[in-house]
Amino acid sequence: MKVVAGFLGSPGANEGSGESIMGLFEWFSNNKVIRGAHPFDVFAAWVTCRSKLFSKGWGDEALLADLEEYARFRFPPSVIHVAWLRSDRRRQGVRRDGTFASPLDLLPSETRTVHIRAWSRPENDAACVILGASRDEGYAAREQVFGALAGRGLDIYLPENPFYGRRRTAPSASLATFSDHVLMSLGMVWEGRALLDYLRKAYKKVAVAGYSMGGHMAAVTAAVCPFPVACAALATGASAAPIYTQGLLSWSVDLSALAGESRLESAARQRLTALIEAADVTRHAPPIRPDAAVLVGCTRDGYVRSEQIRRLHEHWPGSTLRWLPTGHFSALLTHRPALRDAIADAVARL
């Protein structure tokens, strides 16, 4: 039986169906990456791994050489102004769509305009910026999971990530180079921080949240904000390096493209780890109000390692850590109320 990039290929001509089934069972039983992971996580990884990340290699080496400096977020982003283009009243509140110019000048011109959707009610006095997860295009997924928060006193703002949706620079949502991923991450933090600064003029409390990659960037954003914010970091940990090099998402990483002519995939994996470590949340001081942070982990998560979630919890004294008995993807289907509660509770503590 042939195993390619973490999934099973078709059995050969000499392999019978019984042998194939036994081989499949043995491979799943012994594979360390998927051991203990929720079956839905494994299935999602198998489906998405055919669309490779970083298929065109590292990308802009000059940007990567200065990554440590960029990842410090030492200088405040420029002031933004949101131009609200459309507004309509729905049963669950007022829906508005708008745009603003990204404060990150490094982004390609095609992705410099940030598209954002807001759900609000006149009586709400708190707001939460909810950052998008990996391959989360548009607003539908976040609206389905978090939209009900508008009815709990919390307006929500959903910016679209650089390189996704109407901010795409290529036909696919799979980032072509690692430097594109870096620019997306930097953009999410700069744009999130600038949006929080914009919103705190109109609200008593502001928060930042997200799921998976969105949760990781929300944690970084909270850490680099020079004013108090609540934070709900959902299904994420201190470092994303193990996610891309050890967990189920590693199946989607095109290591051969990163290795290039050297064909040394182990060296490419080591460099990838070192570069992603620049975004480790523990490299920053805790947020001004770590007690207003709620972290949520999934006990059967095949993407995010539990020790990374605990590392973040330990680095943020006074933060709350909750565990859901489910996997990374299944939590979005079966534990939506718990995810919303984490955001609402974080804001209540601010």
pLDDT for res 8: 31
Average pLDDT of the residues in 198-213: 97
pLDDT for res 26: 52
Contacts 24+ apart (CB under 8 A), 97-100: 100/195
Buried b or exposed e, range 182-196, using 16+ CB within 10 angstroms: bbbbbbbbbbbbbbb
Alpha helices in 211-254 (DSSP H): 213-224, 241-245
Contact 211, 277 (CB under 8 A): no
The per-residue pLDDT for range 162-186, each reduced to its tens digit, is 999 999 988 877 689 999 999 999 9
Q: Is the pLDDT of residue 239 over 80?
A: yes
The per-residue pLDDT for range 110-122, each reduced to its tens digit, is 999 999 999 999 9
Q: Is the pLDDT of residue 271 over 80?
A: yes
Distance between CA atoms of 257 and 177, rounded to whole angstroms? 9
The per-residue pLDDT for range 275-331, each reduced to its tens digit, is 999 999 999 999 999 999 999 999 999 999 999 999 999 999 999 999 999 999 999
Q: Name the band, by pLDDT with cuts 50, 70 and 90, for residue 138.
A: very high
Using alpha carbons, select from 54, 44, 63, 46 the residue that is nearest to residue 272: 54
Percent of the chain with pLDDT over 90: 82
Mean pLDDT of the chain: 91
Strands 320-324 and 230-234: unpaired
Task: Please work out, in degrees rounded to the nearest 5, the angle formed at the alpha carbon of residue 98 by the alpha carbons of 94 and 103.
Answer: 135
pTM of the model: 0.90
The three-class DSSP label of residue 125 is coil
Using alpha carbons, select from 308, 346, 348 the residue that is nearest to residue 328: 308
pLDDT for res 2: 32
Average pLDDT of the residues in 52-65: 96
Q: Name the band, by pLDDT with cuts 50, 70 and 90, for residue 1.
A: very low
The per-residue pLDDT for range 68-101, each reduced to its tens digit, is 999 999 888 999 999 999 889 888 889 999 999 9
- Domains (ranges, CATH) in the chain? 1-31 (no CATH), 37-349 (3.40.50.1820)
CA 265 to chain centre: 25
Q: Which two tokens stand for residue 238?
A: 């201190």
pLDDT for res 51: 87
The per-residue pLDDT for range 7-31, each reduced to its tens digit, is 233 333 344 455 544 544 454 555 6
